[in-house]
Amino acid sequence: MLGQPLYPDPLTVAEEWHADGRGVAIATVIETWGSAPRPGGSHLVIDSQGNFHGSVSGGCVEGAVIVEAAEVITSGTARILEFGVADETAWRVGLSCGGRIRIYVERLG
Amino acid sequence: MLLEHLHRLNTARDARLATVTVTELGTGTARLFLEGEAYDPSIAPAIELALCTGKSGIIEIDGQAAFINVYLPPPRIVVIGAVHISQALAGMAQIAGFDLTIIDPRSAFATPERFGETKLLGEWPEDALQRAPLDAYTALVAVTHDPKIDDFPLMKALEAGCFYVGALGSRKTHAGRVERLTKLGVDETGIARIHAPIGLDIRASSPAEIAVAILADIIQTLHARCDGWPERR
Q: What is the pLDDT of residues B108-117, one digit of tens each?
A: 999 999 999 9
CB nearest to B56's CB, from A41, A80, A106: A41
B105 with B220, same domain: the answer is yes
CB nearest to A26's CB, from B1, B56, B74: B1
Is the predicted pLDDT of residue A4 greater than 70, yes or no?
Answer: no
In a domain? residue A4: no
B53 with B109, same domain: the answer is no
B81 with B169, same domain: the answer is yes
Q: Is the peptide bond before A8 cis (omega within 30 degrees of 0)?
A: yes
Domain with residue B92: its CATH number is 3.40.50.720
* Position A6 confidence tier, pLDDT thresholds 50, 70, 90: low
The pLDDT score that the predictor gives to residue A98 is: 63
Residue B53 backbone phi and psi in degrees, to 5: -80, -25
Task: For chain B, say whether A21 makes contact (Cβ under 8 Å).
Answer: no
In a domain? residue B230: no
pTM of the predicted structure, to 2 decimals: 0.81
What's the domain count of chain A? 1
Mapping DSSP to helix (H, G, I), strand (E, B) and coil, where does residue A103 land? strand
Chain B hits for A20, Cβ within 8 Å: none
d(C-alpha B75, C-alpha B71), whole Å: 12
B202 with B176, same domain: the answer is yes
Which among B71, B95, B114 is the end of a domain?
A: B71
d(C-alpha B231, C-alpha B112), whole Å: 45
Beta strand B99-103 pairing with B119-121: parallel
B106 with B55, same domain: the answer is no
In a domain? residue A25: yes
Average pLDDT, chain B: 94
| Torsion angle (degrees, nearest 10) of CA B73, B78, B84, B88 | 0
In a domain? residue A1: no
The domain in which residue B106 lies consists of 76-224
B166 with B180, same domain: the answer is yes
Task: For chain A, say whether B175 makes contact (Cβ under 8 Å).
Answer: no
d(C-alpha B52, C-alpha B225), whole Å: 7
* Position A46 confidence tier, pLDDT thresholds 50, 70, 90: very high
B90 with B202, same domain: the answer is yes
In a domain? residue B169: yes
In a domain? residue A3: no
Q: How far does the CA of residue A46 sit from the closest CA of chain B (Å)?
A: 13
State mean pLDDT over B159-176. Answer: 96
Chain A hits for B1, Cβ within 8 Å: 26, 106-109
The pLDDT score that the predictor gives to residue A38 is: 86
| ipTM metric | 0.85
Which of the two residues, A57 and B111, has the higher pLDDT score? B111
Mapping DSSP to helix (H, G, I), strand (E, B) and coil, where does residue B47 land? helix
In a domain? residue A22: yes
The domain in which residue A42 lies consists of 10-107
Q: Are B140 and B163 in contact (CB under 8 A)?
A: no
Task: For chain A, say whether B3 makes contact (Cβ under 8 Å).
Answer: yes
The pLDDT score that the predictor gives to residue A7 is: 64
What's the domain count of chain B? 2
Q: What is the pLDDT of residues B118-134, one digit of tens each?
A: 999 999 999 999 998 99
B56 with B106, same domain: the answer is no
B12 with B118, same domain: the answer is no
Element holding B81 (H helix, E strand): none
B60 with B91, same domain: the answer is no
Q: What is the pLDDT of residues B32-90, one digit of tens each?
A: 999 988 888 889 999 999 998 889 999 999 899 999 999 999 899 999 999 999 999 99
B92 with B8, same domain: the answer is no
Which among B21, B55, B71 is the end of a domain?
A: B71
Q: What is the pLDDT of residues B172-207, one digit of tens each?
A: 999 999 999 999 999 999 999 999 999 999 999 999
Residue of B69, B70, B77, B164 best to disrupt the A interface, most CBs of A under 10 A: B69
B103 with B215, same domain: the answer is yes
The pLDDT score that the predictor gives to residue A93 is: 54
Which among B53, B71, B89 is the end of a domain?
A: B71
